[in-house]
Chains A and B, each alone.
Chain A
Amino acid sequence: MNKEKISDIQSVKLMILFIFGSTLVIGTGGEAGRDAWISIFIAVILAIPIYLVYSRILSLFPGKDLFEILELNFGKFFGRIISLPFIWFAFHLGALVLRNFGEFISTVGLPETPKIVPIIIFGLLCIWGAKAGIETLAKCSEYFIIFVVFLLIVFSFLTIPIIDTDNIFPVLGSGYKEIMSGILSAFTFPFGEVVIFMMIFSSLRSKSSTSKVFISALLLSGVTIALLSVRNIMILGPDTIEAVYFPSYFAIGRVNIGNFLQRMEIAVTVVFILSGFIKIALCLTATARGVARVIGFDDYKILITPTGLLMVNLARNIYEDIVEMFDWAFKVWPYYAFPFQVILPVLIWIFIELKQRAKNKANTTEVTIDDGSSG
């Protein structure tokens, strides 16, 4: 079933694009006002142990994804039961990102086009991408990340004339409560969402470097997101950021170089589409894999199309409008996502670790297998 193999660096790139996903457009940690970037930094640091848990679970069973690991450890029946919430999380996350994308396009780009049209088209594209397999996605991500990084760098430079460094001062002026809730929001969106990768990372080539992959992707993307957050705060100021839906889009919109380079918001759209595509396609892959495992299909790819179409449907019906979407994303999501991202994986990890230890005591020859893994 799993002949697809991706290299470490490819998976880092996949993960970076995944984390960028909708974050670069919607922004995160906004609760902390002008200290959002501090919240993001702290969230990155707090995410490190959780990522180590993820990679530990994976590296204990090289070549297996989360669903297989669950089945191995909890037995066929309970393993499948525990798989269900993860499947739902992947499915739901994919639908949310798809909806974000739809709202974004219809708000800033195509106000007269029915929202469902870009959602359907983008959904079909993601189905195609997911069907092409994780190897193809990884390869695409290698190319996309060049564009993404290029655009981010170029447009961050172009914004230099309009940044106002005063905007981030005073540092730590917003109060600790706000910063704390900023941390929670930044942690659950986007860093914790990487839990999806546990469901697809059976394709990693080497066994021992899972934690390296997770941590380097986290640091690279975390720093980028924090820097971009600093940039946006400097350009817009915390009050404007709070007032607009898509801060990056607004920030880039203010660029005007020599009256010729102007209205370059499309660059933000490009970044969003490229990374969002990877994110949705990965969610789709994860969901299809999980479903295939639970109902006992050998090939998950035939499940991608139906899952994808269901995802499009969910994306369409999940919110009434953009106001509800943002309310949900900022107020409910952190508490909703936390169990999937932290509590469940940690419990699973503890269980596996205990079981492993018991097994090791019984059978000393197995010890050697675990030595190579880190975490």
Chain B
Amino acid sequence: MEKNESTKSDLIELKTMFSNDETVTFREFCCKKEPSICFCITFVNGMIDKNSIHSQIIKPIIEAELDDTLDINQLLNLISKEIVSAASVQQSSGLDNIIPFLLTGNTILFVREFNKVIIIDTSDWDKRAITEPESERTVTGPREGFTENIGTNVMLIRRKFKTRNLKLEFKDIGSETKTKICICYIEGIVNKKILQELNRRIEKIDIDGILDAQYLQELIKDSPMSPFKTIGYTERPDVVAGKLLEGRIAIVCEGTPVAITVPFTFVEYFNVNEDYYSNFYYATINRIIRWVGFFLASSVPAIYLALVTFHQEMLPTQLLLSISASRQNVPFPTIVEAILMLFVFELLRETSVRMPTVIGQTISIVGALVIGQAAVEAELVSAPMIIVAALTGITSFVVPKMQGELIIIRLVFLMSAAYIGLYGYLFSVIGMFIHLASLRSFGIPYMLDIGTFKPSDAKDIMVRAPWQEMKTRPKLVVQKNRNRVGRETKEGDNGEK
């Protein structure tokens, strides 16, 4: 039991703490029948719903028939159980416990000078509505995307699972921001080892603030120096649901319209939710196109450079002649030309991303006219190089999540091709394979062991098999409960390997 003064000073302390903060409002009132019982509520303006404070807290309390003889606990119980009609009410004490609630839109009810308070959820602030995600559009899939509000986001995920197996674990991270994150997984499917590893890594985080899921991503990812992602991200609840069903773990982070998923393997770059919403033949073709796009986006400049400056014998004669003709009078060596054009393309892309749409169009027109037409006519760059840069640019959007990685890969390939031709290119490809093969994401190999997996695991990589055929979850991630589609599954497929 604390003394009376201490509560008084709690309230006073709170007042002094926020004396210059006009958003924190204190409102004192008394019970109509028993004016000796005074109340004070405090809330942050702009985060609360004034109507509900008025109708659910102030009005009932003022009109309530309270009795002065009740001791504090009885009084609080009475108020929280019979008088206040808000949906979420809890009792608490101690400033350190109270302040986080206050700052997330709750209303704190102080009774007289007592140390115990009632916390009433009245939060209501302006939120963005659920809209279609910008970066992951689909034609036929659901149109909802995550928002900045963690409650909404968790709700969006929960709506898809109507069983108790979906587990949500909330945590606060960041010494200053106390950002709320939520770890979602499905009990019974998730690999416990991965979950433990994830929790261990999250415990280890020591940072002042998490403003975006990207902070979190970098803090918990494997091989942080690698350009490749070992953690997935998505703006779409349906994708998260899909990943959860594959046995992965999703983390939703306060203030970020993006959920991150672990573990992440290389093939996930190429799997898009749209694949699962359309005919599987079509989806398979699209996937193959994405793989080809990855190859083109990473290798076309390097291969072109190698062919034109080292291995001219490999070009058909007519092509060699045309390339040679278009390179007449061009002042730059091919390698400089290539780097220049790729740089210009990235420049255009970066500018138009940040620009309002209207100006973005202007930029693309200027880019197309000036670089496409004028530069060739002025014999500053050769036409084939423009084609190469354009092809690279377009194809790098086929795998949108990999854009950043592709820039690095492309440059490395290009440099090594400029060094010793196709041999250099091959060396860097081998290097990429070594790097990819040695990567792991939460203990899961980043690249699949193609030799050891069964055909059943291949059904969702290069091809998208129909659901009847996709009987099991990916073996690498899920250790037990591997059945996806109930019928006709053989015993052997369930076993641990």
Contact = CB atoms under 8 A, between A and B. Distances in A.
A129 B420 contact: no
Interface string B290-333: 00000000000000000000110110100000000000000000
A269 B422 contact: yes
Contact of B452 (A9, A140, A266, A277): A9
Interface residues of B, number: 25
Interface in A118-137: 118, 121-122, 125, 128-129, 132-133, 136-137
A133 B438 contact: yes
B450 interface: yes
B310, B314, B420: most-surrounded residue (chain A CB, <10 A): B420
Interface stretch (A60-68, A236-244, A256-264): A256-264
B18 interface: no
Contacts of A274: 426, 430
A136 B450 CA distance: 13
A318 B272 CA distance: 53
A277 B316 contact: no
Contacts of A113: 420
A105 interface: yes
Contacts of A277: 430
A10 interface: yes
Nearest to B451: A9
A139, A146, A260: most-surrounded residue (chain B CB, <10 A): A139
Contacts of A109: 310-311, 421, 423
Given A110-B423, A117-B420, A144-B433, A10 B451 contact: yes
B434 interface: yes
A263 B312 CA distance: 10
A139 B430 contact: no
Contact of B427 (A10, A122, A259, A260): A122
Nearest to B313: A263
A329 B430 CA distance: 27
A133 B450 CA distance: 18
Interface in A24-60: none
Nearest to B422: A266
B463 interface: no
B449 interface: yes
B447 interface: yes
B423 A143 contact: no
B423 A269 contact: yes
Contacts of B449: 7, 10, 139, 142
A231 interface: no
B421 A136 contact: no
Interface in B399-431: 419-424, 426-427, 430-431
Contacts of A118: 420, 423
B103 interface: no
Contacts of B447: 139, 143
Given A10-B449, A10-B452, A139 B437 contact: yes
A264 B311 CA distance: 11
Contacts of B434: 125, 128-129, 132, 136, 140
Nearest to B316: A260
A132 B438 CA distance: 6
Nearest to B427: A125
B420 A132 contact: no
A121 B420 contact: yes
A270 interface: yes
A99 to B, nearest CB: 16
A125 B431 contact: yes
Contacts of A117: 420
A142 B448 CA distance: 10
A13 interface: yes
A118, A121, A136, A259: most-surrounded residue (chain B CB, <10 A): A136
Nearest to A143: B433
A219 interface: no
A270 B426 contact: yes
Contacts of B445: 139
A273 B316 contact: no
A143 B430 CA distance: 10
A133 B445 CA distance: 14
B228 to A, nearest CB: 15
A125 B432 CA distance: 11
B420 A263 contact: no
Contacts of A132: 434, 437-438
Interface string A259-298: 1101110100110011001000000000000000000000
Contacts of B310: 109-110
Contacts of A144: 433
Nearest to A266: B422
Contacts of A121: 419-420, 424, 427
A105 B422 CA distance: 11
Contacts of A263: 313-314
Nearest to A101: B423
Interface string A145-185: 01000000000000000000000000000000000000000
A129 B450 CA distance: 19
A146 B424 CA distance: 20
Interface in B441-477: 445, 447, 449-452
17 contacts: A7-B449, A10-B449, A109-B421, A109-B423, A110-B310, A118-B420, A121-B419, A121-B420, A121-B424, A136-B437, A136-B438, A139-B445, A143-B437, A146-B450, A260-B316, A264-B314, A269-B426
Given A117-B420, A136-B434, A273-B423, 14 more contacts: A110-B420, A110-B421, A121-B419, A125-B430, A128-B431, A136-B438, A139-B447, A140-B433, A140-B434, A143-B450, A144-B433, A266-B311, A269-B423, A273-B430
Interface of A: 7, 9-10, 13, 105, 109-110, 113, 117-118, 121-122, 125, 128-129, 132-133, 136-137, 139-140, 142-144, 146, 259-260, 262-264, 266, 269-270, 273-274, 277
Nearest 8 CB-CB pairings of A with B: A139-B437, A9-B451, A136-B438, A136-B437, A132-B438, A142-B451, A263-B314, A7-B452
Interface of B: 310-311, 313-314, 316, 419-424, 426-427, 430-431, 433-434, 437-438, 445, 447, 449-452
